[in-house]
Amino acid sequence: MTASLRLVLVWAALMGLLALTIGASFLPLGPVLPVISYAIAAAKAGLVLWFFMELREEGGLARLAGMAGFIWLAFLLTLLAADLTTR
Amino acid sequence: MSERALHDPFTRLDRQREADRLGMLLFLGSEVMLFGGLFAAAMVLRLQHSHDYIAASKEMHYWLGGINTAVLLTSSALVAGALEATRAGRARLSGWLLGFAIALGLAFLAIKGTEYAIEWREGVVPRFSDAKLHGGPHELFMVLYFCATGLHALHVTGGLTLLGMMIWPKGAARAEREATTLGNVALYWHLVDLIWIFLYPTLYLAR
């Protein structure tokens, strides 16, 4: 696959996911909606990181550096949520 | 070109590129933590006042936020294309793609500014135009919205400045085949996009 075709396909997938997340927010999903919204956001972020930020072409060190912020942020949010929901 | 692109203390271009990328990715990790604090605040607000949070989010102009998401994603795709063009030695095409990406970034700021103006007229700006705020949690939500999107808009402005430096005045960076500088600027622009990808459902799509 040529590089430009790949970029166009990734862009189309991102637009599709955007339409999906707006559509899903109007369905009566209640407490499940945030799970779906953030799953779609994570999928979009994955496409951007993997293709646009070229982590697919990087070695382990650069991938680890690229993910480090997100990993520590996940700790912060998980422990914060655990504290708030169990008081 | 390659002799000029190599700087001390590196003796090889691939080593220099690896170090440049690593430094940029670590810096971007610190940016993730900076915005992470705002996302943590949003999560606390949503867990503690979930009814008010959803009511506040429903009043947001989700279509303006949605258009802005599409604008920023497209801009990111164009910058990724410019990087490929630079590596292929097509500096002219790269310049055009970067120009379009910058135009879309400016469009993002214009739409964001329009949205702020609409919110000002609606009276949902804490302290300055707060006639329609429905109490504490709503005000907290709007403070969070202006802090998060304002900080993001500053990052968009910074990213646009960096992108502009790639094509003006001489466009030397897009003629550099290794695209180290342009590659790092592109990484920054994609991060600005990544943050918006998460800000959009957090602020606009909680129903």
CA distance A20 to chain B (A): 11
> In the predicted model, is pLDDT for residue B3 greater than 60?
no
Contacts of B62 in chain A (CB under 8 A): 22, 25
Contacts of B194 in chain A (CB under 8 A): 45, 48-49
Q: Phi and psi for B9 in degrees, rounded to 5?
A: -90, 20
CA distance B105 to B97: 12
A4-19 pLDDT, tens digit each? 999 999 999 999 999 9
CA distance B202 to A78: 16
pLDDT of residue B4: 57
Which residues is B125 bridged to in the sheet? B129
Binary contact (B190, A52; C-beta < 8 A): yes
pLDDT of residue B197: 98
Nearest CB partner across the interface for A84, out of B47, B70, B187: B47
Quote the Cα angle for A51-B25-A70, to 5°: 80
B73-106 pLDDT, tens digit each? 999 999 999 999 999 999 899 999 999 999 999 9
> In the predicted model, is pLDDT for residue A75 greater than 90?
yes
CB A47 within 8 A of CB A81: no
For residue B125, give the DSSP letter: B
CA distance A28 to chain B (A): 9
Chain A residue with Cα closest to B21: A62
> In the predicted model, is pLDDT for residue B1 greater than 80?
no
Question: Given the structure tokens 């799953």, which residue do they identify?
Answer: A39
Binary contact (A68, B29; C-beta < 8 A): yes
Between these two residues, B132 and A45, which has the higher pLDDT value?
Answer: A45
Mean pLDDT within B153-164: 97
Binary contact (A65, B29; C-beta < 8 A): yes
Binary contact (B201, A44; C-beta < 8 A): no
Q: Where exactly are the structural domains of chain B?
A: 11-203
pLDDT of residue B7: 80
CA distance B24 to B43: 28
> In the predicted model, is pLDDT for residue B2 greater than 70?
no
Report the predicted TM-score, pTM, of the whole model to 2 decimal places.
Answer: 0.94
pLDDT of residue B95: 92
> In the predicted model, is pLDDT for residue B112 greater than 50?
yes
CA distance B40 to chain A (A): 6
Chain A residue with Cα closest to B18: A62
Q: Phi and psi for B129 in degrees, rounded to 5?
A: -150, 75
Between these two residues, B18 and A46, which has the higher pLDDT value?
Answer: A46
Q: What is the CATH number of domain B11-203?
A: 1.20.120.80
